[in-house]
Amino acid sequence: MPTSSSPYFQHDADIGIIGRGTTLEQAFEAAAQAVFAIVTDLALVQPSSTLTLEFEETDPELALVTWLNLLLGKAREQGMVFSRFHVQHHGSQWRADAVGEKWRDGLERGVEVKGATLTMLSVKQTGAMWEARCIVDV
Amino acid sequence: MNLEQLRQLQPYLWSLPRASGEQRAEVLLYGTAPLLASMDDKVLEQIANVAALPGLVGAAMTMPDAHWGYGFPIGGVAAFDAEQGGVISAGGVGFDISCGIRCLRSNLDLADAAAHFTRLADTLFHAIPAGVGEEGELKLNPAQLDQVLLDGAHWAVQHGYGNAADLEYVEEQGRVAGAVPAYVSELAKKRQRGEMGTLGSGNHYLEVQVVERIYDSTAALAFGLHPGQIVISIHCGSRGLGHQIGTDYLLMLAKAASRLGIRLPNRELACAPIKSVEGQQYLGAMNAAINCALANRQILTQLTRNACTQVYPQAELETLFDVSHNTCKVETHAIDGKPRLLHVHRKGATRAFGPGHAMLPQRYRAVGQPVVIGGSMGSGSYILAGNSGNPAYSSASHGAGRAMSRHQALTHWRGRELIDELAQQGILIRTRSMRGAAEEAPGAYKDVDLVAEATEQAGLARRVAYLRPKVCVKG
């Protein structure tokens, strides 16, 4: 069962993911790690390739969904899996690096994530911590 | 789900009474008390939200296998009238647009086939790209992909995947009208480049099954089914292209709803009027994804045939039916005795036209549309037939429905142990994902027997045959 510090929460058919950090950007990075940890064992992914992503979004919640879906789309387009993320944002402008490698034998085959949804979507700051969460469709 | 908040109308039909001042249409839930009690309260919350959408005709409904989804509940059915301001919702279709089941009947019987199941399992596992990160051998250029999006399963048949006889037994004869490739993003098309003829992962599967029980001998005869016969079911959808269309339009429709002043009870219901620019664009893209899914299952059908004849040279596999369960389709239904053109959303629900429907192939017209309720890899599946007078816009259940979250399943089962356990029961599993196998453990699903029985008792469809799994290739 997911615990209070788990990057996951319960959903009947799909999976709830949570990213936490001391900044909004870190929470987005952690959310991306939670998504890709469903896909494969991140410890086995070699950081051999970096993809830079940019998008524009004023609403932080929609930005989370946009970020995760852009990552998932690019990963599938390029046949890659990512394990490390670095997010920056200035106002509505978002820029991020995703680091990983092409699929190869030896990488664990987890479960495909189809996309991030607007369900249970929330991005909020509580005290010193930011938390970003939503349901992803698997 | 707390049943005290519901009113039981019939033994298998319940309603959710409106609270004072609550502005929404009727909510109807099909199923038995135990099935409904096992559902999360979120199912009720989600379907009540659907009932508040503009232009809904009649009630918002859930099937006996309903569970908590995103936007609509899975197992949700809702029909909208474009002329009455009705909406189309990306969350009412899902990311895996036109996910569905292609069912193939064979000329093989268990007695002949069983001795070679291990070889069949290995051959199918080699032939069918399955699981995360796996690509197919077919690589399409942009012009070819656009043609797939227009022609659906016809494109696949024209390119050597299957035969014209297959098309007669695919919904809409293998191709929906209204697809507009220009409304599909470049990223969606790029995601599909290596994914034609792939199964995917999660709950997708290719299963070799044996007909174990016949419930309706007349319909079974029409469907070409008999006890002991080998049947193959392929469960998958529109792959990366559909997922990206779902992604693109979920946000677009959420913003459109806000811009057009549609007050949504929850943003996850992202929708736009059918007649709006955004609504028309989503419809065009969604229909393209339906054609992509129909082509994908047609390609997989031929790959399956090729694999089967390697093991059984005498094998012949005919398409029994191909039915989608994540769609919005334009259909005519009688409302208060008058025909009306409606956009029927079925999110995790199967179309189930009754006997005599003009869209059914001649062979099935007297008995109704084949409906498949796919079970888990250990519990079996059902083939049913659509009923006349189906009260849910000719809809029925699509699967067993999850009883346990994926995370809960991972705490109960380990993939390797589960696969060994199923092998002891005579069910051979082939998968690249031990995690996926554990998440899909039969015990994580509701009892498919109860779902099929409730579907029949509620008058949605009637049971024709029960299929027991023998070989399962999991994504």
Please write the tens of the pLDDT for every residue from B34-72.
999 999 999 999 999 999 999 999 999 999 999 988 889
What's the confidence (pLDDT) of residue A4?
A: 60
Domains and CATH numbers, chain B: 3-403+445-474 (3.90.1860.10)
Nearest-CB residue to A118 (from B187, B250, B435) = B250
Q: With helix as H, strand as E and coil as C, how does B59-88 read?
A: EEEEEEEEEEEECEEEEEEEEECHHHCCEE
**Does A12 score more than 80 pLDDT?**
no
Q: What percent of chain B has pLDDT over 90?
A: 89
Contacts of A8 in chain B (CB under 8 A): 407
Nearest chain B residue to A12 by CA distance is B405
pTM attached to this predicted model: 0.95
Question: Encoding tokens for residue B425?
Answer: 């029961």
What's the confidence (pLDDT) of residue B54?
A: 94
What's the confidence (pLDDT) of residue B73?
A: 95
What's the confidence (pLDDT) of residue B433?
A: 92
Q: What percent of chain B has pLDDT over 70?
A: 100
What whole-number distance in Å separates Cα of residue B213 and Cα of residue B388?
23
**Does B403 score more than 90 pLDDT?**
no
Contacts of A80 (CB under 8 A, 6+ apart): A49, A51, A74, A100, A101, A102, A103
Which helix (H) or strand (E) segment holds residue B145: the answer is helix B142-151
Contact A109 B432 (CB under 8 A): yes
Q: Which residue has the tokens 């291990």?
A: B118
Q: pLDDT band for position B258 (50/70/90)?
A: confident
The distance in angstroms from the start CA to the end CA of chain B is 31
> Mean pLDDT score of chain B, rounded to an integer?
95
pLDDT in tens, B13-26: 999 999 888 889 99
What whole-number distance in Å separates Cα of residue B447 and Cα of residue B403?
9
- Mutation site for B-interface testing, chosen from A18, A64, A119 by largest number of B Cβ within 10 Å: A119
**Does B145 score more than 90 pLDDT?**
yes
Q: pLDDT band for position B173 (50/70/90)?
A: very high
pLDDT in tens, A33-72: 999 999 999 999 999 999 999 999 999 999 999 999 999 9
What whole-number distance in Å separates Cα of residue A79 and Cα of residue A73?
10
What's the confidence (pLDDT) of residue A3?
A: 55
**Does B265 score more than 90 pLDDT?**
no
Determine the residue type at A126: T
What letters, b where the CB count within 10 A reaches 16 and e where it falls short, cover B328-357?
bbebebeeeeeeeebbbbbbbbbbbbbbeb
Residue A17 at interface with chain B, using a CB cutoff of 8 Å? no
Domains and CATH numbers, chain A: 8-137 (3.55.10.10)
**Is 0.85 exceeded by the ipTM?**
yes
Contacts of A59 (CB under 8 A, 6+ apart): none
Q: B277 near B138, Cβ under 8 Å?
A: no
**Does A1 score more than 50 pLDDT?**
no
